[in-house]
Copies of this chain bind each other. A is one copy, B any other.
Amino acid sequence: MTIHSNIFNQLKAYQLLKKLTQNPFDLTGSGSLTSERIQRLQCRTGNFRLLYATQRLDEDVLNGLQQLADETSAVEQFVMMKKGAVMNRINGYDSENRQVLHTACRDVFSDSPAEPSAARQALDELDKLKIFLDDLDQEKLRTPQGKPFTDMIQVGIGGSDLGPRALYHGLAVFQKEGRKVHFISNVDPDDAAGVLRGLDLSTTLVNVVSKSGTTLETLTNEKLVQAAYKKAGLDPSLFFVAVTGQGSPMDNPERYLRSFYMYDYIGGRYSATSMVGGVMLGFALGFDNFFEILKGANAIDLAVEEKDIRKNIPLLLALLGIWNHNFLGCETLAVLPYSQALIRFPAHLQQCDMESNGKSISRQGESLSYQSGPVIWGEPGTNGQHAFYQLIHQGTTVVPVEFIGFRSSQYQQDIEIKETSSQEKLIANLLAQSLALASGQKHENPNKRFLGNRPNSVLMAECLTPRSMGELLAIYEAKIVLQGFVWNINSFDQEGVQLGKLLANRLLDHFSGMRQDKEYDGSSQDEAGWAMLQAAGMVEGLKTKS
């Protein structure tokens, strides 16, 4: 397979779009946001619709963005990815050289999956998961004292934490009676201590998740949690399950009640629909609800094959993002869900997007001469309206916004106050913000002026359910990957995390050094590191303690 090697800012579409930036659509004019425009600039995929009349674009820009997608064969690359192409590589240099097949985790509804062997592996793990969950439900699998398991601690970090956690919060309303999940991720010992406090370990499963089986934080926390079980007189091997790569140091049935596999073709940040999310979500929500998540995600993976950007939400979101970032010069993107359940979804996107597209070289190893991924951040509305929205409306920086909303609430517990329900107030606020950011406001008092022309879009569905949660997850996964294809970067590795690990190990050597020798002095081998430890008060601290 040859990797596409387009240079983004030398594309014809780039030149065309560059010209169009001289006069981007003005959203503040009195006749700008017409009913016709709002009706026309809509796109539907799966159960979602995207309203994008409040972006700074016209049909010329849309045509240019379509050309950009076509010239870079973005959709074709996505299809190649699903079929098992080795997309995770840098041509001509040492790199991970892997397939990218998170889509296979949910390609389990068709007789002819895009990559049959990976889909087969996904089905095998789903079968194991079904048996595990049935055993729990039927109490074939019980605590040593014969009680049902009530709680699960997910021990994992990064992709083994953020995606699963976002989905768990998103779908808490669907939680099975008497089941609850907790998360330990940080190597900060207070993370584990805080979670363990007040938990009844004797009815709590622990799910340890690490693809490599060597993640520092996860192994450390596993040991810490094991110690707590032993202290409580409990045998960890009767409570611990594992999700890891086949053959990893953690792939050891003697230590775990059950083991589930993920494969090297699934990147951590894309792993929520693999067993990384499956075991925990299955425990909390039941197998059927997890299966619904997969159905939603798969529906999107299929819909992404549509090449018309006006009919493909992930592709359109990808190109709108590029328009705002590379052409209109906005450095960040706020993702603002009007749904409290999505409180951790922006944190998941921070990883999925910024770890994927925060790159400086092309897939041919050349330094980029254009911007790759933006900074992603966000909190739920309406909360944000009482916080950082001030800057979005009146700051000196333009922050593009992606709103997310649902017509119905999850719990359906609502009351009407002043003739409207809370859910209606929520949606009215969402749509009002979209309009206010776009249109702005003139005023004789300069403090009441709003410049407007703040680009934004609104992603809407009926209700946040397992199905639509799966769709939403896959919409963003696809958006991110498609942007990477257009920018011609490798969205699937993460070399940028290595240097910190290396330096951390060097600093840890100083701690062991000090522990072994009170007179230890690391300044000759590592001047900066040793000086930082001293400046931070760590040397003094340790020497006084020991």
A506 at the interface (CB under 8 A from B): yes
Q: Are A500 and B217 in contact (CB under 8 A)?
A: no
With A157-B386, A399-B375: A447-B365 Cβ-Cβ less than 8 Å: yes
Q: Mark A149-170, 1 if CB is under 8 A from B, else 0.
A: 0000000011101100000000
A499-B441, A504-B428 known; A190 vs B409 contact (CB < 8 Å): yes
Q: Kindly identify, within residues 487 to 546 of chain A, every residue whose CB is under 8 Å from any CB belonging to chain B.
A: 490, 493-508, 511-512, 515, 523, 527-538, 541
Q: Tell me whether A350 and B158 are in contact in the complex, defined as CB-CB below 8 angstroms, given that A431-B532, A496-B450, A537-B460 are known contacts.
A: no
| Chain B residue at minimum C-beta to C-beta distance from A346 | B377
**B395, A358: Cβ atoms closer than 8 Å:** yes
User: Which residues of the other chain, B, contact A196 by a CB distance below 8 angstroms?
Assistant: 413
A170-203 vs B, Cβ < 8 Å mask (1 yes, 0 no): 0011000000000001111111111011000000
List the number of copies, as a whole number. Answer: 2
Instruction: Write out the residue numbers on chain B whose beta carbons fall within 8 Å of the beta carbon of A282.
Output: none
* Nearest CB of chain B from residue A535's CB, rounded to whole Å: 5
The answer to whether B511 and A419 touch across the interface, beta carbons within 8 angstroms, is yes
Could you say which of B432, B434, B495 contacts A448, with CB atoms under 8 Å apart? Answer: B495
* Structural contact, A429 and B386, CB atoms closer than 8 A: no
Q: Among residues 473 to 498 in chain A, which have CB atoms less than 8 Å away from a CB atom of chain B?
A: 490, 493-498
B158 touches A339 (CB 8 A): no
CA distance A392 to B374 in the complex (A): 11
In the assembled complex, the Cα of A340 lies from the Cα of B129 at a distance in Å of 31
A425 to B: closest C-beta gap in Å: 5
For residue A255, give the distance in angstroms from its CB to the closest CB of chain B.
16
Which chain B residues border A407 with CB–CB below 8 Å? 536-538, 541
A56 located at the interface, meaning its Cβ lies under 8 Å from any Cβ of chain B in the complex: no
Q: Which of B93, B332, B424, B440 contacts A511 (CB 8 A)?
A: B424
Given the known inter-chain contacts A390-B494, A431-B529, A500-B429, please indicate yes or no for A422 contacting B188, CB distance below 8 A: yes
Complex contacts, A70 vs chain B, CB 8 Å: none
Q: Is the CB of B536 within 8 A of A51?
A: yes
* Nearest-Cβ distance from residue A443 to partner chain B, whole angstroms: 9
Are A535 and B193 also in contact (CB < 8 A) when A268-B386, A332-B331, A394-B359 are?
A: no
Confirm or deny: A252 has a beta carbon within 8 angstroms of a beta carbon on chain B.
no
Residue numbers in B under 8 Å from A381 (CB-CB): 186
